[in-house]
Every structure is written in C-alpha cells, then in structure tokens.
Chains A and B, each alone.
Chain A
C-alpha cells in the first residue's frame, strides 16, 4: 500500500500539523512516511501545503505532481490541485469559501464542512482534526488507535490535555463526509 496525499489550504488552518499527525500515525504502525512542506514565498503569502506519503515500502520521491488524495481547504488550492488527483483518486474539500466547486467526474469527490462543524463544537482550532477524521473515514489507511498514538507523539506533553477534544473532532469528522461524486 502506498498513499500519496497533498493537503493544501491557508496558513493557520493546521495543514502542516494535520500532515504531521498522519505521518506519525503511519510510523505507529511500522510504515514508511515522508512529510514535505511548502516553506517558500507561497507560505508567506498565506497558503500552505504539505505532501505526505504513507507506504509499506521505501519511499522514493517525497515531492510529486500527482496524488492519490488531495485534501483541499481553500479556493487557491482547489485551482491548483484539483487537476493533480490521479484518475480514480480522492478529492476531499471543505466547501467553506469555495466559489468554484470541483467538476471532475473521473475521481471520487467528498466534502466535509470542517469550518462549520468546528465552530459548532466551539473551537476553530480543531478544524484540521475534523477534516482528518473525514479523510480517514473515506480512506482508513491508518488505524484509529494509531492516529491517537500519533497525536500523542506529535503534541508536546503540555498539550496532552487537549487530546480528548482532538479525538472528539476526529469522531465528528468521521461521521460527516458527504459524497459529491463517487465512482
């Protein structure tokens, strides 16, 4: 199994940390992982993206131009990454702020109302965990218990009191992905 993922959105949405938790989850079940962030001018301009690969085999290139899954959290990223999903792949997006919705018919498209659900739960910061939950519901590439272990590994000890809240967000996300186009 090799899953090649791009997660893209605004800086501050937790794009990089979502990728990090996913990567740690892979390590928890003895898989190979890579996490390659954008760290350049586009990051300073407000958008952020990270390429995460989780695989049973040794990972070759950590940078790619086609992905099994694109998790898209703003319009700029939709414009840039919708076309990079491999045919038959997955596009998961939050419709909040999206004007031009995805139109491809050769990929699976789901939406998750991460921003709305996060504000309903009363904490905008758990937005990324809701989205991650939705993704793992559609593609359970890592076991849930390993995500929680990954969360513990990637969070500094002083934030471990926040783990129950993050778990609640993951659960919320798992309950709420909405299919838009399924093959």
Chain B
C-alpha cells in the first residue's frame, strides 16, 4: 500500500504528477485550480525529480509551451479552470492535429464568461464536442474523488502516449477544493533521453540520425488530399478509442427501475440521492461515465432498456443529457435532465425531488 494522505483534489493531482515522473508543468493561476501550481511551486519538484514547473505569462503561452515540450516526447502536464481552458483551445486543436501526447486538467467553475469561482460542470460540450476547431477528439476522464484526481494522471499519460493524443481530466471546483484520503503511488523515475529515443524516436523531434528522414511536428498540410488522409488516420484512432477505452462504473443497478446518469461530483451527490430514494422504496441505480469521450453509450443503452426512466444529472443547463438521449435512442421511457448551475451545487434532496417529479411522476 502506498502513502496515505489527506489532500485537496488540486494537491493530489499535483503530487501525482511529480510521482508519475512528469517532465514539465506549464500553467497560469486561476481559482478554483490555483493550488495545483501553488503545490508544485512549494514542493520544488526540480529538487525531487528534475521536473520543470513554470508559471507562464498567460494561458496562451502555457499551452504553447506544452505543445513544444510534448514535441520532444516528454511527459507534459498543465491545468487551468474554465476561462483559462477557453484560452487553451487553439493550442489543444494544434496538439491534437500534430498528434502529440499531453495531459490537461480543467477544474471547472461556473460560466459563461468569467462567471464565478464556484463548481460547475458546464464545460462538457467544450470538452467532448470540440472546443477548438477541426475534426479532433479530446480523450476525457472525469474523476469523482480526490483519489481519482491522483490516479487519472497515470492513466491519462498512458492513454495520451498510446494514442498520441491530448487527454483532459475534467473535474470541478468541488473535487479540486475538497479533501479526502488519498493513497499515493511510489515515485517513478523520469524517462531518460535514451528511453525517449527508444520509445518515441519515430516521431519526436529529438535529433535526426542518418537512418531516417527528419521528424516534423506540424498540424499544417496545405494539400487537401494529404490533409484528408491525415484526418482519416485521426478518425481511425478515435474509433479505436471508442472500441477499447470506454470506462464507467455502476451502483445499485441490479434491481433498479430508474437510472441516474452522472459523472464527477454529481455522481457523488447522486449516490446519496440513491440512498435516500431507497429508504423511500424507490429503486434507483447509477451509471457513472468515467470516460466522457468515449462515452459509455452501449452499456447505457443496455441498462436503459430495462428501466422505466433515466435522469441525467449534471451541474449545467443540460449538456450530457444530449449524449444520454442519443444512447438511449427512440425509446418510450422519459429521459430528462436535472441540475443546478452557475456555481450552485445541487443537494441530494433536490436530485431526488427532480427524479420524482420529472421521471417517476412524468411516466
């Protein structure tokens, strides 16, 4: 068993990045995420592992530093919160187009605009439906505990390098600010130059040997036929992710008549709702998508086929519910959304009330 600590989600993700052997972190402070860079600065990881931690002059600079460091096959991590992540979008599109690995964390706050510093889940569309321009996909992991904030660093880098694609860890102010028990993994050594050459020498810009052409990192190809071919290749990667990387968890679904679909902090709240509902004799279960892209549409469709109704719960005006509806398909059962938003966290009671009114009463 690893080391047990009581940590904020923001601190856990920062410590996990050091222990993962990440080479560089670039970022710019923004509430409710600032503890990530604060923790990294205080821990001085350059003394522990040689990891670089740099506060950039802006989010635009930070994401382009990520682009640069990822180009040489290094493990690069960055984090921000909603308005900052909006500024990252151009860079993310370039990174996806150039097929580079990196891990980005968004500790979501209420919007739109500068919004508020309180938790929200209203960046779902931005994260899984595009955000930046072009036909790319952002692999998205949604932690619902401090432990998962730490664990998804390792998983995120594994996927980022397997597919050479950016990975988003989509949390929110609640997961970032709360403290829970977390078990930390042992320190991994950072990759040596030789290891990077052996693993990523075929694409990373780490010097040209006689034996091959030069590696070029770019997202530009003016020849539309070549660009289409490149897009075909990207799409093939996304289809493979959809086939092989879907992750989800279910609670109390065996005897359930109703299903709640919720991720991240809403999934935690929904578990309490389920306890309250079952005390009243209402049989509810939960499907928690762990990957938001790829979305667990097949397991959801299968579960929904034996339910009397589905409630999608998200701290937004209703974004994930669109994917829930697509997965459930043209069925007679009600599929509705419930969520407080703009920085307000729904209570377990409110979710139960919505279930009773919108789904059970509405059937």
Taking Cβ atoms with an 8 Å cutoff, the residues of A that contact B are 20, 23-24, 27, 32-37, 39-41, 59-66, 153-154
Contacts and interface: CB of A to CB of B under 8 A. Distances in A.
B155 interface: no
Name the residue among A35, A36, A60 with the largest chain B CB count within 10 angstroms: A60
B7 to A, nearest CB: 10
Given A24-B6, A27-B4, A62-B268, A36 B174 contact: yes
B347 A20 contact: no
B269 interface: yes
Nearest to A154: B6
Nearest to A65: B347
B181 A27 contact: yes
Contacts, number: 72
Contacts of A24: 6
Interface in B338-358: 343, 345, 347-349
Given A34-B179, A35-B179, A36-B174, A64 B6 contact: no
A39 B32 contact: yes
Contacts of B273: 61
Nearest to B175: A62
A37 B119 CA distance: 12
Contacts of B117: 39-41
A60 B174 contact: no
Name the residue among B6, B270, B274, B275 with the largest chain A CB count within 10 angstroms: B6
Nearest to B343: A40
Nearest to B118: A40
A60 B178 CA distance: 13
B180 interface: yes
B272 A61 contact: yes
A36 B177 contact: yes
Given A35-B179, A36-B178, A39-B117, 12 more contacts: A32-B181, A34-B179, A37-B177, A39-B31, A59-B268, A60-B274, A61-B268, A61-B270, A61-B271, A61-B348, A63-B265, A65-B349
